[in-house]
């Protein structure tokens, strides 16, 4: 298999794209709406059919943008959306899901996540997710920003092990999850969905990423993405609101970093030697 069509396997056996498109901060500004729509469409044309959104993003405007940009291509998409923890109860998640479905103009969300922990009733959330799944309104459910202790707590609850993915902050500059969270999830076949895979543009301006990129004639962002995608159970969801960035990101799937390049990256962006609490943006 070439990296172009790299996929990640869910516990159910379904294969989903390893590289998708984030949409945080999209759909909020009418001046750039046309370009954002083109960017999302270009991404789908390039196989970036996994689209990540949340009821939080633009207070629903990101979900509306997705409907406008990709409404006629629903069958090609794997849509991920997220529910606020303050809607985290059995009835709360059901009502929030209905609102998201309406904004997305679809009859189902492919993966529905609890956005972060914050006073939710976790048992109620699972019960709500399971009944949405039984009704066909969501196809899978999962969590976001769950550290190892949160995952252990989740898996101890009834049906908690039906969690299909955990969306977390993970990139070359934030490697904490490698110490315990990623291995814990790998053992249980729970894929990680790496958000902010280019660190929300906070990667250092000059680093080994630039040297490797220059030697290969690609961009440092592409090296950062290829680094996240090097692991079979990790999905990356960069947000790019321009066509040029989307095309560049899609091409990162063709880059396989060598052992030597990975060692050079380790020397500057060191893997964790002890537990670090999961960071969050």
Residues lying near ligand NAP in the complex (CB under 6 A): 22-24, 52, 115-116, 144-145, 167, 195-201, 219, 221, 237-242, 245, 248-249, 281
CB of residue 268 to ligand NAP, shortest distance in Å: 18
Residues 50, 19: Cα–Cα separation, whole Å: 7
Residues 227, 267: Cα–Cα separation, whole Å: 14
CB of residue 246 to ligand NAP, shortest distance in Å: 8
Q: Which is nearer to ligand NAP, 191 or 197 (CB)?
A: 197
CB of residue 236 to ligand NAP, shortest distance in Å: 8
Annotated binding residue at 115?
yes
CB of residue 26 to ligand NAP, shortest distance in Å: 7
Q: Which is nearer to ligand NAP, 170 or 184 (CB)?
A: 170
Residues 63, 58: Cα–Cα separation, whole Å: 9
**Closest CB to ligand NAP: residue number:** 22
Q: Which is nearer to ligand NAP, 112 or 195 (CB)?
A: 195
By CB atoms closer than 10 A (0-12, 13-18, 19+), residue 263 is: exposed
Residues 196, 219: Cα–Cα separation, whole Å: 17
Residue ranges with strand state E in 53-170: 78-83, 109-114, 138-144, 166-169
Q: Which is nearer to ligand NAP, 210 or 242 (CB)?
A: 242
CA angle (229, 194, 182) in 5-degree steps: 85
List the catalytic residues. 57
Q: Say which residues have a Cβ less than 8 Å from residue 187's Cβ, sequence separation at least 6.
A: none
Is residue 182 classed as helix, strand or coil in its secondary structure? helix
Annotated binding site for substrate: 115
Annotated binding site: 115
């Amino acid at each position: 298999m070439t990296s172009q069509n790299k996929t990640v396997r869910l516990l159910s056996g379904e294969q989903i794209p390893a590289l998708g498109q984030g949409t945080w901060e999209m759909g909020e500004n009418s001046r750039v709406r046309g370009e954002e729509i083109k960017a999302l469409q270009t991404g789908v044309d390039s196989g970036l059919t996994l689209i990540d959104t949340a009821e939080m993003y633009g207070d629903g405007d990101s979900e509306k943008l997705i409907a406008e940009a990709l409404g006629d291509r629903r069958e090609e998409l794997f849509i991920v959306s997220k529910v606020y923890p303050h809607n985290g109860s059995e009835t709360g998640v059901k009502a929030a899901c209905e609102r998201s479905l309406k904004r997305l103009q679809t009859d189902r969300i492919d993966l529905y996540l609890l956005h972060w922990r914050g006073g939710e009733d976790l048992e109620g959330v699972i019960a709500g997710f399971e009944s949405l799944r039984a009704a066909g309104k969501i196809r899978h459910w999962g969590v976001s920003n769950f550290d190892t202790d949160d995952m252990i707590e989740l898996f101890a609850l009834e049906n908690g092990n039906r969690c299909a993915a955990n969306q977390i902050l993970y990139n070359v500059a934030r490697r904490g999850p490698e110490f315990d969270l990623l291995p814990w999830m790998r053992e249980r076949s729970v894929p990680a969905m790496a958000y902010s895979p280019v660190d929300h543009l906070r990667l250092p301006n000059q680093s080994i990423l630039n040297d490797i990129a220059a030697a290969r004639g690609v961009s440092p962002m592409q090296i950062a993405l290829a680094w996240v995608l090097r692991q079979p159970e990790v999905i990356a969801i960069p947000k790019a609101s321009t066509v040029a960035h989307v095309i560049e990101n899609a091409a990162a799937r063709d880059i396989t970093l060598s052992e030597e390049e990975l060692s050079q990256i380790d020397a500057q962006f060191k893997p964790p030697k002890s537990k670090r609490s999961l960071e969050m943006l």
